[in-house]
Structure 1
């Protein structure tokens, strides 16, 4: 089964727990990128425990021992599927939850219904901590647009007036990878060229860019995914649309592809496909044009900019993921976007300035307040953010505090109207966090200049200016 065919797997297989390899239960596994996995078994993964209840009249009543809630969780489930060609495919399900086992009763086995948290196709692992590889490859939507560099050239010789030249010439040139390091990992943005069409009725060249991560001698699964999620955030910010992880594979030095007679080919790795819900997925997968980008790879500083971003993102990973959760989905309430980002901004400043000086106010020295920290963030973000909010940072920061308090304490007018804050404010606090993190990774001026030129940023500033300008009297 190819990776593309495995994007939405639907397989019949035998499933078992690592501690009970002889108890294999048939069942059907399906996977949906939005809803995750669904495993429906013909029986139970654990053999029912039947005990005797000795009655007062000397009789014996059999009863089932019901599983406790902890036993509903399966860290690992293994599966085996035989293809039509007779080849065995290995599956490993991670962090699964039994949806109905607590309600099992009686002496007969029940069909168990399980929700897997993640899935590995191509290898068996008995312990999640043992999932290791030396290479991982991730496909992200909008990554190619954000890299903004093409190795394709198209020529139409006949347009020059000649009728003997080819109608069209497509040239695909291999471009060097953007390579950097992060801690003990090599991180690359690598171009991929592939032929398309049946070469009889249609033919062409497809170009895309992939994220490739290498860790020697081996790296744990979480190390690879942490880097991929941080790159996902970067591409989402720069592209202005959610960069979904559409494909993820692990590669192990001992897993090779094989010829038809079963001979291993060491030069070609076999893939271990990794499926996960990856939190929220974007609802808009339309293509991006150059003027849609807030900034691209070159404006960030190329490979070195990616390295600095990963270093900063690892320091503020909790704050970054909380903020990006507000961008990955359209289902989050506006008020929740403001609350999440405001909390992340306060924590960002506490991490950046753990020994922030006290502030003299009302004749006394005070520990830096929420407003003080928001003002510090605005100063750190620089002139691009000052142009975005238009008004003085202290005035704006107090308004952010007012909105945050209304939401946190359910005060009036939020209690009465159910509404407080606005879209413009939600965007302002988001871009404040983004610009602070870009400052933290020493993003060049070109990054901020490109953001300032973006039509959405200019529109936000215009909205603020209209609101702040005195109305003209009729």
Structure 2
């Protein structure tokens, strides 16, 4: 459909005129092409001045090394306004002195495109809402506008059936003045006549809509999209690519009447997210999904996620990084998983000093009194009243449902000790000679699972569901087997 959002996994192009915002009268024809694996490329017939020059006097100009870049380029193509952001010239061809005069050419790479609006920068508050579709969002939503019926009079299928569409009520919740909606968009029936038969099609797309109380910028919109993307990645335990991202522009002026509101103006965003969603790829198997809106309702999970996302984002980024871009070497994954556990422990606010502060301070002063003056400052920095890594691991293992933890690993003490030893050996000596590769893999997987169980616990995933995840999720079930083999005292 003409008004459908632009999918990030589909190529497209726009032929039109392009100009720099500070020189709107100098317009250059060209074609903008978007290819998912290559990004955005603007091919101009003509050039913007990309040389860095200094004018010393009339007719006296110095040309310096390097090229200019442009924060913004505006365009008008295919009856749409277009904004290109983060623009860098990659090639320019000029024909000075050529025997046959032909137009100059220039190729410009852009980081991001807004198809449908002109904005001055990523930070301009020009939008009122953002809509985003992410892989497996419909699976996580646990709802669909479609219903199917097979006719079976007298209990015998007669070959007739129907598929019906029943629009769903949009789920919504408000958090700190920002409205979050879980909505569906569906197409009308379409019959595709093929030589070998006819295919009937309809499509139901689940998407999230975020509308803050005030106008917000593209940067803010990208942050909101990441919030949804990371929630689905956590819930499905795999990378969740962005399928499309659409912005609603702030309505300026008053072009509406009381009985006819002004139509919404939308703009599509093309960019390279951490993962590009494949809109026709098969959805995640339900056994691999940690929780859905059926087990943790939308209006409950969004406020909890909104609060936890800011507080625990560093730990979540690290643990989700193992899903988006796992390292090839187990040592790198070890540092990431254990680092996520440490950061999570700090973010949870349970970072209690092992020795009461009123006792530790005089103890430290008494010890420093026996240290020569020239070494005192160095030793003072080393005497810290912080929990050890082992303390942090014990504390994290104590937070989720304890039956789920015991199903994951029967020997918490062994896991905490072997994880601490592996991290310390790697960080201080550059190798882990006391661990086999199999044991290191078990350490990484169990530590990752402990972090995930803590995040699910923070979101309010019930204890019984935590146990089901360990029993039923293929990857965590395998992790539990590895823990019983490699992380049990013998």
Band the TM-score falls in, shorter-chain normalisation: 0.7 to 0.9
Following the alignment from structure 2 to structure 1, what is the Cα–Cα distance between the partners of residues 403 and 276? Answer: 29
What SS class does the counterpart of residue 462 from structure 1 fall into?
A: helix
Q: Structure 1 residues 445 and 110, CA, compared in 2 at 3 Å: closer, same or farther?
A: farther
User: Aligned pair 1:15/2:18, yes or no?
Assistant: yes
Q: Any stretches of 5+ residues in structure 2 without a counterpart?
A: 357-362, 365-383
Measured against aligned partners, the alpha-carbon deviations of 1:150-194 in whole angstroms (never above 9, x if no partner) come to: 34322232665899x992222222222221122221111113332
Larger CA deviation: 198-207 vs 165-174? 198-207
User: Aligned pair 1:338/2:334, yes or no?
Assistant: yes
Would the aligned equivalents of 2:353 and 2:387 in 1 still touch at CA under 8 Å?
yes
The residue number in structure 1 matching 2:174 is 181
Displacement after TM superposition at 1:44 (Å): 3.6
The residue number in structure 1 matching 2:241 is 244
Displacement after TM superposition at 1:32 (Å): 3.0
Match for residue 477 of structure 2 among 429, 449, 458: 458
Q: Structure 1 residues 446 and 39, CA, compared in 2 at 3 Å: closer, same or farther?
A: farther
Following the alignment from structure 1 to structure 2, what is the Cα–Cα distance between the partners of residues 106 and 331? Answer: 50
Following the alignment from structure 1 to structure 2, what is the Cα–Cα distance between the partners of residues 420 and 100? Answer: 50
Displacement after TM superposition at 1:138 (Å): 1.0
Displacement after TM superposition at 1:312 (Å): 0.7
Match for residue 66 of structure 1 among 64, 67, 73: 64
Q: Structure 1 residues 8 and 383, CA, compared in 2 at 3 Å: closer, same or farther?
A: same
Would the aligned equivalents of 2:30 and 2:45 in 1 still touch at CA under 8 Å?
yes
Would the aligned equivalents of 1:403 and 1:420 in 2 still touch at CA under 8 Å?
no
Matches within 5 A, 1:304-383: 304-329=300-325, 333-353=329-349, 356-359=352-355, 366-383=385-402
Larger CA deviation: 368-377 vs 422-431? 422-431
Match for residue 28 of structure 2 among 25, 30, 38: 25
What SS class does the counterpart of residue 251 from structure 2 fall into?
A: strand
The residue number in structure 1 matching 2:218 is 221
TM-score by length of 1: 0.80
Following the alignment from structure 1 to structure 2, what is the Cα–Cα distance between the partners of residues 100 and 325? Answer: 34
What SS class does the counterpart of residue 204 from structure 2 fall into?
A: strand
Matches within 5 A, 1:16-95: 16-46=19-49, 48=51, 64-66=62-64, 68=66, 71-72=68-69, 74-81=70-77, 83=78, 87=79, 89-95=80-86
What SS class does the counterpart of residue 128 from structure 1 fall into?
A: coil
User: Aligned pair 1:209/2:206, yes or no?
Assistant: yes
Measured against aligned partners, the alpha-carbon deviations of 1:441-462 in whole angstroms (never above 9, x if no partner) come to: 3333344233223232222112
The residue number in structure 1 matching 2:184 is 191
The residue number in structure 1 matching 2:447 is 429
Match for residue 139 of structure 1 among 125, 133, 143: 133
Would the aligned equivalents of 1:326 and 1:332 in 2 still touch at CA under 8 Å?
no
Following the alignment from structure 1 to structure 2, what is the Cα–Cα distance between the partners of residues 5 and 390? Answer: 45
The residue number in structure 1 matching 2:373 is none
Q: Structure 1 residues 462 and 61, CA, compared in 2 at 3 Å: closer, same or farther?
A: same
Would the aligned equivalents of 2:326 and 2:333 in 1 still touch at CA under 8 Å?
no
Q: Any stretches of 5+ residues in structure 1 without a counterpart?
A: 55-59, 259-264
The residue number in structure 1 matching 2:266 is 271
Following the alignment from structure 1 to structure 2, what is the Cα–Cα distance between the partners of residues 354 and 295? Answer: 26
Match for residue 108 of structure 2 among 110, 114, 124: 114
What SS class does the counterpart of residue 225 from structure 1 fall into?
A: helix
Displacement after TM superposition at 1:51 (Å): 6.4
Displacement after TM superposition at 1:197 (Å): 1.5
Q: Structure 1 residues 269 and 447, CA, compared in 2 at 3 Å: closer, same or farther?
A: farther
What SS class does the counterpart of residue 296 from structure 1 fall into?
A: coil
Measured against aligned partners, the alpha-carbon deviations of 1:255-292 in whole angstroms (never above 9, x if no partner) come to: 89x9xxxxxx7464232001221123479942233333
Q: Structure 1 residues 41 and 155, CA, compared in 2 at 3 Å: closer, same or farther?
A: same
Following the alignment from structure 1 to structure 2, what is the Cα–Cα distance between the partners of residues 421 and 248? Answer: 42
Number of residue pairs aligned between Structure 1 and Structure 2: 446
Following the alignment from structure 1 to structure 2, what is the Cα–Cα distance between the partners of residues 42 and 325? Answer: 41
Would the aligned equivalents of 1:407 and 1:420 in 2 still touch at CA under 8 Å?
no
Larger CA deviation: 195-204 vs 11-20? 195-204
Would the aligned equivalents of 1:311 and 1:441 in 2 still touch at CA under 8 Å?
no
What SS class does the counterpart of residue 398 from structure 2 fall into?
A: helix
Q: Structure 1 residues 75 and 466, CA, compared in 2 at 3 Å: closer, same or farther?
A: same
